[in-house]
């Protein structure tokens, strides 16, 4: 289960980064903002998984 969550976090980060780049290149601030939100969502999910791993290892 944790591996699935980590993979999902990486996917959200990559998707968000792609949207930010495309939005910036096209001058589409809405898409750029959505990309930033997706990337942040992935970052939060990754942090949650890292915290869970740290708790399990103790």
Q: Which pairs from 15-21 meet CB under 8 Å and 24+ separation?
A: 15/39, 15/42, 16/40, 16/41, 16/42
> According to the model, what pLDDT value does residue 34 have?
96
> According to the model, what pLDDT value does residue 16 have?
96
> According to the model, what pLDDT value does residue 49 have?
92
Instruction: Identify the CA nearest to 49 among candidates 11, 4, 17.
Output: 4
Calculate what percentage of the chain has a pLDDT beyond 90.
81
| Residue stretches of the chain with pLDDT short of 70 | 1
Predicted structure pTM score: 0.82
> According to the model, what pLDDT value does residue 1 have?
56
């Amino acid at each position: 289960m944790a591996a699935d969550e980590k993979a999902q976090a990486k996917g959200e980060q990559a998707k968000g980064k792609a949207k930010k780049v495309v939005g910036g290149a096209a001058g589409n601030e809405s898409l750029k903002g959505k990309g930033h939100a997706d990337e942040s969502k992935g970052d939060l999910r990754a942090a949650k998984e890292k915290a869970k791993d740290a708790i399990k290892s103790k």
